[in-house]
């Protein structure tokens, strides 16, 4: 018995598997085909936040360098921190490619905020110091004015009271008393009222003190000056020279007041007007 020849003319040798069908079409070999690839759309990187953060951070730091512009530097620095954080988030998610810029902007923003805070504290300290200094000066001026006013008040006395000048001379001006000039008097007009002013000077110190300008000045309440009267009676005595330690000198001066002179009368006196302000004695004249 002969074996039929396959239609493709091939011959077989050897033993074939029992389930082999010699008439079946040849089996096709499987070939791995890679899956088809399709172009994917890649969007533009969103780098604006990082760039903005970097620019704002630089602006904040530069403005912060100028101490008194801290009120301008904090806002761009704060925005740099916000935009830097958003830009860094985009970079981490792959939606931005400028992670370095975002990090730099974030860092500069933080630095700018620290500089702004430090500048604010520094400015507050400087302003407080200036305000305290101004208040101190105002207080000193006020105290000086009050002291001057108090001293001025001390230098206004009533007749018979004593005032001690800085050189240790204690001066008392007595109430003016009537004075009758002699017929040879100079400075007294007929009808005027003549008065005599007595000035007593006591040296309370331990050294001699000179009286350089010991001439009083007399005015009425309207500010009208009295005329100094000089006669030949020898009753007037001018204080000159120096007063010995614990010594006393007395000066007598006559003045002529116009008949319309108003009370009270004021007497001004200083032992040395170049060094000491005048003291004033006032009250009604006799």
Please report where in the chains the tokens 């001293």 appear, as a residue.
Answer: 151
pLDDT at 37: 52
Domains of the chain are: 48-133 (no CATH), 156-272 (2.60.40.1240)
* Structural contact between residues 101 and 52, judged by C-beta atoms closer than 8 angstroms: no
- Tell whether pTM > 0.75: no
- Model pLDDT for residues 101-144, shown as the tens digit of each residue: 999 999 999 999 998 888 888 888 989 999 999 999 999 999 99
Residue 1 predicted with pLDDT over 50: no
If we measure between CA atoms, which residue out of 220, 214, 207 comes closest to residue 279? Answer: 214
Residue 183 falls in which region: left (phi positive, over 0), alpha (psi -120 to 50) or beta:
alpha
Which DSSP letter does residue 232 get?
S
Helix or strand run (H / E) with residue 243? strand 242-243
**Both structure tokens of 63:** 């403005």
Higher pLDDT, 244 or 30: 244
Per-residue pLDDT tens over the stretch 216-263: 999 988 888 899 999 888 888 988 889 999 999 999 999 998 888 778
The pLDDT of residue 213 is above 80 = no
- Mean pLDDT of the 71-90 span: 90
Per-residue pLDDT tens over the stretch 63-78: 888 877 777 888 999 9
Q: How far apart are CA 220 and CA 257, in angstroms?
A: 8
Dihedral (CA of 34, 35, 40, 45) sign: negative
Q: Which of 5-9, 85-89, 180-184, 252-256 has the lowest mean pLDDT?
A: 5-9
For residues 231 and 253, the answer to whether their CB atoms sit within 8 Å is no
Q: How close are the terminal C-alpha atoms of the chain, in Å?
A: 187
- The 10s digit of each residue's pLDDT in 96-108 is 899 999 999 999 9
The answer to whether 237 and 212 are in contact (CB under 8 A) is no
The pLDDT score that the predictor gives to residue 21 is 60
Handedness of CA 39, 40, 42, 43 (dihedral sign): positive
pLDDT at 153 over 70: yes
Report the alpha-carbon distance of residue 109 to residue 103 in Å, rounded.
Answer: 10
Q: What average pLDDT does the segment 67-94 reach?
A: 88
């Amino acid at each position: 018995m002969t074996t039929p020849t396959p239609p493709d003319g091939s011959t077989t040798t050897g033993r074939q598997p029992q389930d082999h069908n010699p008439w079946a079409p040849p089996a096709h070999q499987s070939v791995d085909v890679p899956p088809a690839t399709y172009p994917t759309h890649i969007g533009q990187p969103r780098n604006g936040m990082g760039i903005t953060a970097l620019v704002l951070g630089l602006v904040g730091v530069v403005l912060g360098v100028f101490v008194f512009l801290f009120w301008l530097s904090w806002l761009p620095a704060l925005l740099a921190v916000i935009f830097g954080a958003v830009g860094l988030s985009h970079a981490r998610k792959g939606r931005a490619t400028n992670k370095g810029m975002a990090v730099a902007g974030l860092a500069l923003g933080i630095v700018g905020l620290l500089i702004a805070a430090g500048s604010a504290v520094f400015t507050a300290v400087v302003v407080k110091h200036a305000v305290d200094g101004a208040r101190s000066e105002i207080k000193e001026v006020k105290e000086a004015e009050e002291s001057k006013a108090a001293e001025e008040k001390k230098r206004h006395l009533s007749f018979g009271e004593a005032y001690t000048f800085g050189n240790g001379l204690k001066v008392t001006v007595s109430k003016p008393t009537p004075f009758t000039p002699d017929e040879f008097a100079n400075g007294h007009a007929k009808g005027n009222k003549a008065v005599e002013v007595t000035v007593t000077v006591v040296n309370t110190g331990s050294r001699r003190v000179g009286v350089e300008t010991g001439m009083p000045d007399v005015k009425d309440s309207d500010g009208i000056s009295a005329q100094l009267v000089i006669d030949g009676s020898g009753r007037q005595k001018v204080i000159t020279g120096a007063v010995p330690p614990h010594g006393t000198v007395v000066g007598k001066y006559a003045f002529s007041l116009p008949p319309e002179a108003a009370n009270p009368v004021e007497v001004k006196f200083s032992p040395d007007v170049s060094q000491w302000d005048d003291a004033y004695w006032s009250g009604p004249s006799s």
